[in-house]
Amino acid sequence: MRALAPHQISLLKQQGLGSYPLVTAEQIHGHAVALVTESSASPFEGVDGLLTTTRGITLGISVADCAPVWLVAKNGSAGGLLHSGKKGTELGIVPEGIRTLCSTAHLLPQDLILIIGPCIRPPCYEVDFAGDIRRQAIEAGISSIHDDGICTACHPESYYSYRRELGLTGRMLATLTLLPQ
């Protein structure tokens, strides 16, 4: 992942996000989330999700088959980024992220949009954790869910896949920034 860091930082600069500090998560395939209120040393240890109500900070997680899951308040006041693979989904990182973001930002689940990014899916993987993420979000009260249905293992020209490449692969950086108003 460190080898890709200069390229990822360059891409953030190209997108106009280079002046915002990048805060990342350690990603241990768990369900813990952390609230980010200011720029801090990265990565946040022991967490797979980052949440914020602070503008001008870029949250980042790395993925190569696990799903990046974005939670964004419809009014733009809060957001979160979760690393949810088979294990994290089973442990409930998505419901935990929804509960914590709603509590922190004084929102209701129906105030949020949830986006499931590219991840490995059947038939390339035996578990449909993207489907489980969607189910968990619905059960938590989110009605606005977006999922492009892209399988990372099926598109070697566009996405890294840990399983397809037998662990010898890079990682994609998923980011979320609440832009200053």
Q: Which domains does the chain have, with CATH numbers?
A: 20-177 (3.60.140.10)
Strand-pairing partners, residue 36, are: 52
pLDDT at residue number 166 = 67
pLDDT at residue number 167 = 65
**Selection from 67, 85, 92 nearest residue 174 by Cα:** 67
Cα–Cα distance measured from residue 177 to residue 46, given in angstroms and rounded to the nearest whole number = 21
Are 47 and 97 in contact, with CB atoms under 8 Å apart? no
pLDDT at residue number 12 = 73
Are 52 and 178 in contact, with CB atoms under 8 Å apart? yes
| Regions of the chain with pLDDT less than 50 | 1
pTM (2 d.p.):
0.91
Q: Quick: pLDDT tens for 66-93.
A: 999 999 999 999 999 999 999 999 999 9
pLDDT at residue number 172 = 80
In degrees to the nearest 10, what's the CA dihedral of 93, 104, 137, 127? -10
Tokens of 97: 């992220």
Tokens of 136: 């968990």
Q: First CA to last CA across the chain, in angstroms?
A: 32
Tokens of 147: 């999922």
